[in-house]
Chain A
Amino acid sequence: MSLSRREFVKLCTATVAGLGVSQMFHPAIVQAMKEGAKKTPVIWIQGQGCTGCSVSLLNTVHPSIKEVLLDIISLEYHPTVMASEGEMALEHMYEIANKFAGKFFLVVEGAIPRAANGKYCIVGEMGDREITMLELTEELGKKAHAVLAVGACACFNAGIPGAAGNLTRAASVQTIFNEKGIKTPVVNIPGCPPHPDWMVGTIAYALAHGIPELDENGRPVMFYGENIHENCPYLKYADEGTMCETFTQKEGCRMELGCKGPNAYADCFKRRWNNGVNWCIENALCIGCVEPGFPDEMSPFYEG
């Protein structure tokens, strides 16, 4: 079964709102991924991060993480998941990067610190020499087919590690690539963390059809194309001027509590989170974690 680009995007975007189960990845997508991928090698590296993006990836429902790991991609390097460790793991990573140069996907989670020659994030040691995240991003970045920068830290202004007051000069993948003149395409999948569908869906599309359509911030339009406030189920309250006064009041718009929905572009309002059980605005409010201005321009988060 093969899906056209158009059908693919339609399936990714047409999640069912309000039905409780909203992570409706079509079985055809799983099939297309399995065929398209042929177990494409993926190298996943981590800089200044919290592993939250990896943990979020584990929450994927359709396809399940079991299918992703065993049938779709070949996850050759992932510090949190792989059996291997130490120099054995690094040797294998370099072997795969060389053997599949120009073909493997590089996923970067976490920011890349530039201060102190990169010493604020050491990712391993080969032959008595420490390897910094800065060096590794440059070296693997040049060889990769494309880079998926996952999470707020790897995108834009480097999320929390890059926020005001940081001493490590933390930077995103695209910033490093611009500074080093690396031309490998970068797809930003922001969010703190990103929804698993945004990561799996982008990988699926890239395996089947190449880089998806991106917005001016390098984000896939199919996931980040819509304004949260304009599509919010509580918009009617905003229109009639009914505002929530405390967090636990749910009949009203959350804007006066600090909600950043008007500044945020993502499909959380219809996709919902964690197998559709809840999402930030139903529970409290949006902190704008998918936007380049996160966190500094989104602060204070709570004003209730």
Chain B
Amino acid sequence: MSGCRAKQAPAAAAAPGKKIKIAVDPVTRIEGHLKVEVEVKNGKVVDAHCVGGMFRGFENILIGRDPRDSSQIVQRICGVCPTAHATASVLAQDKAFGVKITTNGRIVRNLILGANYLQSHILHFYHLAALDYVNGPDVAPFVPRYKRNDIRLNKEKNAIGVNQYLKALEIRRVCHEMVAMFGGKMPHVQGMVVGGTTEIPTAAKIKQYAERFKQVKEFIENEYLPLIYILGSEYGDLLETGTGWKNVISFGVFPLNDEETDFLLKPGVYTNGKDSALDTAKIKEYVKYSWFDDSTTGLHPSQGKTVPAPEKATGYSFIKAPRYNDTPHEVGPLARMWVTNPELSPEAQKAGFKRMRDFGEKAFSILGRHIARAEEAWLVAKAIEQWLSEVKPGAETYTPTEVPETGEGMGLTEAPRGSLLHYINVKDSVIANYQIVSATLWNACPRDDMNQRGPIEQALIGVPVPDPKNPVNVGRLIRSFDP
């Protein structure tokens, strides 16, 4: 195996002061198509470009359709987190249709999305990220792998990792069974609609959900969380690597009241060390370096346009660059846990961290993001326990709706991988405009019109690449964001 290609002779790696370029394409074990190009000087990344390599054009495909179709169509954006797209779509529709959902409808939506949070976090850590820290068996698809891949676990700990990888395959399947219990099937649920959900939970289905949940919760407490803290002790330097902008944003998710004003994970913004309330009017999408027409740059999503320009010379990605107050912000579990700053698991308390912000600077790191994700899985599991005690068998989950002639709405939620915004505008009872600002746009975007790097690009700066043929830390950094 040649490893990753260095664009100059590998010998240049050792030459101090000289820059070499490394391209990784495809970046694997992510959802979608991504390339990264880094410049390395004196063994550290000094510049980075993230390239989103695919465009499908959902926003254009949605125009002219029945607004209710959107909750189905948008789920196909991502097969790992379709429930989050369904949630954003139905929240936008609830507003555009002027419908208020029932208490049981809200709780069942939380149970559907919550189960997929657990599925997504477990799938992400074990099946996407873990092979950066654990060696799989010596057969495909676990080989080939980098020759010098910096796996530091001893045989015994590595075996724990591999066994958990295999067990996690079953656990995430069980999470999908929980989603399907009230959502119909997974991936891509039928049951999430404007006005609520389509299936009133029976006592029998609640029981089946709860039985499966127990197994998942035990896995999170007894295996996932402890393994994350083992990695923390074996890969301590990765708690100081991959800082980035240290700006985060959360839209809030899992409404705890019927007014949908209080959330398990709170909305909020943290910029240059200061907390502030979320104001969605401050969101704009820039396209100077994206393969979209320049006339569409700097627009708020409610005015957003999607005009691809694949040959545009200044473009280098199919991802637009969303900014809050013209500043790049990271989204995802770390952002949510930083904004909410909840009490952490007993596992974290043992290690001396009572709340997320007790990690301080270390939270903004490769392993900090994995810790935040695992802790969030634990937090959501605790909340599911609560919702299971609140959900009422037999109580209505759906409020009948009618497609309005005109209307608009913004659906704000959080996908497991980060903040998600859907905007719908209905005219003549069909979709006149639909705009989607997903988590990967925030994190994996290119530079904006002000030439500021995207969050992953910025977090790559300073990442050690001592061996350009085996740039393991580049992949580790990217995957810590779950793009």
Write the nearest CB–CB distance from B398 to chain A, whole angstroms: 5
The answer, yes or no, to whether B82 is at the interface (CB within 8 Å) is yes
Taking CB atoms and an 8 Å cut-off, the chain A residues in 12-66 that contact chain B are 41, 46, 48-56, 58-59, 61, 64-66
Taking CB atoms, residues of chain B closer than 8 Å to A83 are: 29, 131, 136, 141-145
The segment out of B49-57, B266-274, B327-335 that lies at the interface is B49-57
The answer, yes or no, to whether B5 is at the interface (CB within 8 Å) is yes
Taking CB atoms, residues of chain A closer than 8 Å to B32 are: 51
The segment out of B70-78, B375-383, B408-416 that lies at the interface is B70-78
Check B80–A274 contact: CB distance below 8 A.
no
Check A50–B198 contact: CB distance below 8 A.
no
Check A86–B190 contact: CB distance below 8 A.
no
Complex: A61 Cα to B169 Cα, angstroms: 11
Taking CB atoms, residues of chain A closer than 8 Å to B180 are: 273-274, 277-278, 283
Complex: A56 Cα to B179 Cα, angstroms: 13
Taking CB atoms, residues of chain B closer than 8 Å to A256 are: none
Check B31–A80 contact: CB distance below 8 A.
yes
Taking CB atoms and an 8 Å cut-off, the chain B residues in 163-182 that contact chain A are 166, 169-170, 172-173, 176-177, 179-182
Taking CB atoms, residues of chain A closer than 8 Å to B322 are: none
Report the nearest B residue to A59, measured CB to CB: B173
Contact of B190 among A74, A113, A283 (CB under 8 A): A283
Write the nearest CB–CB distance from B183 to chain A, whole angstroms: 7
Check B57–A165 contact: CB distance below 8 A.
yes
Taking CB atoms, residues of chain A closer than 8 Å to B73 are: 160, 163, 295
Greatest chain A CB density within 10 A among B24, B140, B397 is at B140
Write the nearest CB–CB distance from B17 to chain A, whole angstroms: 24
Write the nearest CB–CB distance from B188 to chain A, whole angstroms: 6
Write the nearest CB–CB distance from A211 to chain B, whole angstroms: 24
Check B177–A277 contact: CB distance below 8 A.
yes
The answer, yes or no, to whether B148 is at the interface (CB within 8 Å) is no
Write the nearest CB–CB distance from A109 to chain B, whole angstroms: 9
Taking CB atoms and an 8 Å cut-off, the chain B residues in 4-22 that contact chain A are 4-5, 7
Check A247–B184 contact: CB distance below 8 A.
no
A contact patch SS: loop
Complex: A30 Cα to B180 Cα, angstroms: 26
Check B170–A275 contact: CB distance below 8 A.
no
Report the nearest B residue to A285, measured CB to CB: B190
Taking CB atoms and an 8 Å cut-off, the chain A residues in 194-246 that contact chain B are 246
Check A248–B79 contact: CB distance below 8 A.
no
Check B4–A164 contact: CB distance below 8 A.
no
Check A274/B23 contact, CB under 8 A, given A81-B29, A82-B140.
no
Complex: A128 Cα to B35 Cα, angstroms: 12
Greatest chain A CB density within 10 A among B24, B76, B143, B193 is at B76
The answer, yes or no, to whether B63 is at the interface (CB within 8 Å) is yes
B contact patch SS: loop
Check B65–A299 contact: CB distance below 8 A.
yes
Check A278/B185 contact, CB under 8 A, given A85-B29, A116-B311, A161-B56.
yes
Check A302–B140 contact: CB distance below 8 A.
no
Complex: A248 Cα to B398 Cα, angstroms: 7
The answer, yes or no, to whether A10 is at the interface (CB within 8 Å) is no
The answer, yes or no, to whether B396 is at the interface (CB within 8 Å) is yes
Taking CB atoms, residues of chain B closer than 8 Å to A274 are: 173, 176-177, 179-180, 185-186
Check A75/B193 contact, CB under 8 A, given A88-B146, A122-B33.
no
Taking CB atoms, residues of chain A closer than 8 Å to B100 are: none
Contact of A122 among B53, B56, B69, B475 (CB under 8 A): B53
The answer, yes or no, to whether A69 is at the interface (CB within 8 Å) is yes
A interface, how many residues as a size bin? 35 or more
Complex: A124 Cα to B24 Cα, angstroms: 8
Check A165–B140 contact: CB distance below 8 A.
no
Check A160/B61 contact, CB under 8 A, given A55-B79, A84-B145, A86-B25.
yes
Report the nearest B residue to A165, measured CB to CB: B61
Check B141–A79 contact: CB distance below 8 A.
no
The answer, yes or no, to whether B66 is at the interface (CB within 8 Å) is yes
The answer, yes or no, to whether B127 is at the interface (CB within 8 Å) is yes
The answer, yes or no, to whether A125 is at the interface (CB within 8 Å) is yes
Taking CB atoms and an 8 Å cut-off, the chain A residues in 113-131 that contact chain B are 113, 116, 119-125, 127-128, 130
Write the nearest CB–CB distance from B100 to chain A, whole angstroms: 16
The segment out of A1-9, A138-146, A166-174, A182-190 that lies at the interface is A166-174
Check A50–B79 contact: CB distance below 8 A.
yes
Check A123/B137 contact, CB under 8 A, given A166-B57, A193-B187.
no
The answer, yes or no, to whether B60 is at the interface (CB within 8 Å) is yes
Taking CB atoms, residues of chain B closer than 8 Å to A161 are: 56-57, 61
Write the nearest CB–CB distance from A89 to chain B, whole angstroms: 6
Taking CB atoms, residues of chain A closer than 8 Å to B56 are: 48, 111, 120, 160-161, 166, 168, 170
Greatest chain B CB density within 10 A among A53, A92, A285, A301 is at A301
Taking CB atoms, residues of chain A closer than 8 Å to B27 are: 85-86
Contact of A88 among B1, B72, B76, B176 (CB under 8 A): B1
Taking CB atoms, residues of chain B closer than 8 Å to A167 are: 57, 60, 308
Write the nearest CB–CB distance from A233 to chain B, whole angstroms: 15
Check B33–A75 contact: CB distance below 8 A.
no
Taking CB atoms, residues of chain B closer than 8 Å to A52 are: 76, 78-80, 82, 187-188
Taking CB atoms, residues of chain B closer than 8 Å to A273 are: 180, 184-186
Write the nearest CB–CB distance from B208 to chain A, whole angstroms: 7
Taking CB atoms, residues of chain A closer than 8 Å to B183 are: 278, 283
Check A51–B78 contact: CB distance below 8 A.
yes
Report the nearest A residue to B472, measured CB to CB: A85
Taking CB atoms, residues of chain B closer than 8 Å to A75 are: 140-141
Report the nearest A residue to B149, measured CB to CB: A83
Taking CB atoms, residues of chain A closer than 8 Å to B184 are: 273, 278-280, 282-284
Taking CB atoms, residues of chain A closer than 8 Å to B276 are: none
Taking CB atoms, residues of chain B closer than 8 Å to A251 are: none
Taking CB atoms, residues of chain B closer than 8 Å to A247 are: 193, 198-199, 398
Contact of A55 among B1, B68, B76, B187 (CB under 8 A): B187
Write the nearest CB–CB distance from B306 to chain A, whole angstroms: 9
Check A120–B177 contact: CB distance below 8 A.
no
Complex: A165 Cα to B64 Cα, angstroms: 9
Check A122–B145 contact: CB distance below 8 A.
no
Taking CB atoms, residues of chain A closer than 8 Å to B200 are: 248, 250
The answer, yes or no, to whether B236 is at the interface (CB within 8 Å) is no
Subset of 9 A-B contacts with CB under 8 Å:
A65-B169, A84-B144, A84-B145, A85-B28, A161-B56, A168-B56, A248-B198, A274-B176, A299-B66
Counting from the closest, the 10 A-B pairs by CB-CB distance are A52-B79, A283-B184, A300-B66, A122-B53, A247-B198, A274-B180, A273-B185, A284-B198, A125-B25, A284-B190
Known: A122-B53, A283-B182, A284-B190. 10 other contacts (CB 8 A): A50-B82, A76-B140, A80-B28, A80-B30, A83-B131, A84-B143, A87-B2, A87-B25, A283-B185, A287-B72
